[in-house]
Chain A
Amino acid sequence: MLAVDVKNINKIFANKQDTVEAVKDVSFQVNQGEIFGLLGPNGAGKSTTILMLTTLLSITKGSASILGLDVATNDKLVREKIGVALQDTGIDNLLTGRELFFTTCRLWGYSKKDSEKRTAELLELVGLMEAADRRVKTYSGGMKRRLDLGLSLVHSPEVLFLDEPTSGLDPGSRRVLWDEIKRLRDNGVTIILTTQYLEEADELADRIAIIDEGLVVAEGTSDQLKAGIGGDVITFSFENNDDLENAKNILKSTVQEKNELRITVKDGASKIPGYLKDLSSNGVEVSSVSASKPTLDDVFLQVTGYRLEGSEDIKKEEEKSKR
């Protein structure tokens, strides 16, 4: 049985002033025990999709089921099976971490004794044991995210929805959460997560759907998506603009970015000498050239026509924290 089966869902928000088609047509399937990543920029429709799948928003058109249960008609049963951590964490700042876990355990039907036990387990799991008796108000952003994740795990859900679980976290905290998410997957939990970070999708997700303006524009494993580019990426960079302009005419079908030109070809490395010969015979000076396997970044650029902002930042942060 599929963990999640989404068939052509669509969401239109209509109010007095205007209507917004937040999700145009989204379909995907998630197998049990898999991490599925929804990758997309701000406003792509990721959260709206998650809210529909978690029974918090109605679906305008199309249908979706979780473990064979229809989200629209069987919402109560669906809620028993899923864990949800939304983009805006739903956390009560006045209570302590322990109290929040305890209350949530009780609401899920655990007895007082079992609630205490489960609370301790979960505090341990998300690394909040030491801060357990402090008010949540005093927690850092990373601790709040971990708490939120922990709260969505109380009833050991079979399917877990995480909407941008690591946004706003530093690289260290992000790694901690990534490891935690992987461990859950290894224990058999199916995870659907959204992200605007390429690296996160690449690192975590077994399969990825790239979503842009309410549509799924590509889907597959990270390797499949990269292979779909159809070759390697050769990057030429130039010191002066005339050289760059000339090279553009000579190389054909290039993509320019600042002082660089990119070209996607099969067996990139072996083709470099040929290109360089063409260029130098036309008097074009190349300052550097390299061939590389395509990255998700390249995939994103190809399927959407633009780069995902913010993915640069995460790289910079990682480098900064290494220093």
Chain B
Amino acid sequence: MESNRSFLLQLQILTKRMVLRVVRRPLAELPNIFISAFFLFVYDGALGDVFGGSVSGTPFDFANGNFVNFILPVSILSASLSGAASGIYLVEDIESGVFKRYQSMPISKWAIILAPMNVGAVKVLLQASLILLIGNIIGADPVVGAIGYLVVLSLAFIGGMGIAGYSVAAGVKSGSSQGAQAATFLFFPALFLAPTFVPREALKGWLQTAAAFNPTTYLIESMRSVLVEGWVIDVLLKGYLVGGIFAAITLFLAVTSARKATEKA
């Protein structure tokens, strides 16, 4: 019995329980999926002809003839926002007293903290995959081939984990699940202080400056490179690097704040 009670088993049991919680509230998943898919449809509908090159004589051919490819990263990153669920789930357990019960049992603190992170990660992967699928159906077609989708998914995952970490830290700090939820709204402006609709060079000066300091910019450009241009290694790597640093920082904050919450007052 003793050896069974290993960390991995605990993590698995706690993750499973949390998945059950997600499954019991299917409607809670819809808004983010809907918004992400909606972005894809309306931006393509509104801007696709102008920037996609099918309106004759248009001077904007940065989308390389396929605007769905170009706009897809924005929808994908919007799907990555579902990673914020990690913080919300963790704080819900603190609010309900379930967290305290686990603390009174001989269970690894790490398992308690990591279970909601796991679920956040799975949500990001599922939502991003769904958006990729929709994108594919309405005409996305990575220049580098299908492997481009995997690159995009991996970048979405890194971004999603960054958001998950941020939500855990914000949630534990604010002490309420509403706090965790509210804090993630910060990411919506971040989605637009970036080369969202046109390449960075085409932005006005102030927005170009803001975009340069926004990690979202590098994730979008990195995804875009494989979708629109091909293997542009330095742009691609910059996405992984900036996304990785962002995720590392927020995950560090998440772990330190969550650990504090498990410590005795």
Which A residues fall within an 8 A CB radius of B?
Answer: 13, 54-58, 76, 79-80, 82, 84, 86, 88-95, 99, 103, 106-111, 135, 151
Measured CB to CB, the closest approach of chain B to A112, in angstroms, equals 10
**Contact of A80 with B106 in the complex, beta carbons under 8 Å:** yes
Sampled A-B contacts (13; CB under 8 Å):
A58-B265, A86-B97, A86-B100, A88-B97, A89-B97, A90-B97, A90-B102, A92-B21, A95-B20, A99-B17, A107-B5, A107-B10, A109-B5
Return the chain B residue nearest A76 by Cβ: B106
Measured CB to CB, the closest approach of chain A to B188, in angstroms, equals 28
Given contacts A56-B104, A82-B104, A93-B96, 11 further A-B contacts (CB under 8 A): A13-B265, A55-B264, A56-B100, A58-B264, A88-B97, A91-B96, A94-B24, A99-B17, A107-B14, A109-B2, A135-B24
Residues of B within 8 A of A110 (CB): 1
Residues of B within 8 A of A56 (CB): 100, 103-104, 264
**Contact of A91 with B105 in the complex, beta carbons under 8 Å:** no
The contact of A151 among B2, B24, B101, B106, by CB within 8 Å, is B101
Return the chain B residue nearest A115 by Cβ: B13
Residues of A within 8 A of B93 (CB): 92
Cα(A76)–Cα(B105), bound, Å? 8
**Contact of B265 with A57 in the complex, beta carbons under 8 Å:** yes
Residues of B within 8 A of A109 (CB): 1-2, 4-5
The contact of B13 among A76, A79, A94, A107, by CB within 8 Å, is A107
The contact of B99 among A76, A90, A151, by CB within 8 Å, is A90
Cα(A84)–Cα(B17), bound, Å? 21
**Contact of A106 with B98 in the complex, beta carbons under 8 Å:** no
Cα(A106)–Cα(B21), bound, Å? 17
Which B residues fall within an 8 A CB radius of A?
Answer: 1-2, 4-5, 9-10, 13-14, 16-17, 20-21, 24-25, 93, 96-107, 264-265
The 3 closest A-B pairs by CB, nearest first: A90-B101, A90-B97, A109-B5
**Given A79-B106, A108-B105, A110-B1: A92 in contact with B264 (beta carbons within 8 A):** no
**Contact of A84 with B265 in the complex, beta carbons under 8 Å:** no
Measured CB to CB, the closest approach of chain A to B226, in angstroms, equals 39
Measured CB to CB, the closest approach of chain B to A89, in angstroms, equals 6
Cα(A94)–Cα(B17), bound, Å? 10
**Contact of A95 with B21 in the complex, beta carbons under 8 Å:** yes
**Contact of A79 with B25 in the complex, beta carbons under 8 Å:** no
**Contact of A92 with B17 in the complex, beta carbons under 8 Å:** yes
**Contact of A90 with B17 in the complex, beta carbons under 8 Å:** no
Residues of B within 8 A of A135 (CB): 24
Residues of B within 8 A of A107 (CB): 5, 10, 13-14, 102, 105, 107
Cα(A57)–Cα(B25), bound, Å? 33
Residues of B within 8 A of A151 (CB): 101
Cα(A79)–Cα(B10), bound, Å? 16
Measured CB to CB, the closest approach of chain A to B92, in angstroms, equals 9
Measured CB to CB, the closest approach of chain A to B94, in angstroms, equals 10
**Given A86-B97, A92-B21, A93-B96: A106 in contact with B13 (beta carbons within 8 A):** yes
Interface centre among B4, B99, B101, by most A CB within 10 Å?
A: B101
Residues of B within 8 A of A58 (CB): 264-265
Measured CB to CB, the closest approach of chain B to A213, in angstroms, equals 20
Residues of B within 8 A of A91 (CB): 96-98
**Contact of B13 with A92 in the complex, beta carbons under 8 Å:** no
Return the chain B residue nearest A87 by Cβ: B97
Residues of A within 8 A of B101 (CB): 84, 86, 90, 151
Cα(A93)–Cα(B4), bound, Å? 27
Measured CB to CB, the closest approach of chain B to A157, in angstroms, equals 10
Measured CB to CB, the closest approach of chain A to B74, in angstroms, equals 33
**Given A56-B264, A58-B265, A109-B4: A79 in contact with B97 (beta carbons within 8 A):** no
**Contact of A99 with B265 in the complex, beta carbons under 8 Å:** no
Return the chain A residue nearest B104 by Cβ: A84
The contact of A92 among B4, B16, B98, B106, by CB within 8 Å, is B98
Cα(A133)–Cα(B237), bound, Å? 51
Residues of B within 8 A of A90 (CB): 96-102
**Given A57-B265, A88-B97, A95-B20: A103 in contact with B13 (beta carbons within 8 A):** yes
Cα(A86)–Cα(B33), bound, Å? 38
Residues of B within 8 A of A13 (CB): 265
Return the chain A residue nearest B97 by Cβ: A90
Residues of A within 8 A of B100 (CB): 56, 86, 88, 90
**Contact of A54 with B4 in the complex, beta carbons under 8 Å:** no
Return the chain B residue nearest A154 by Cβ: B105
**Given A13-B265, A58-B265: A79 in contact with B104 (beta carbons within 8 A):** yes
**Contact of A79 with B105 in the complex, beta carbons under 8 Å:** yes
Cα(A54)–Cα(B97), bound, Å? 15
Cα(A54)–Cα(B105), bound, Å? 10
Cα(A92)–Cα(B98), bound, Å? 7
Return the chain B residue nearest A148 by Cβ: B101
Measured CB to CB, the closest approach of chain B to A15, in angstroms, equals 9
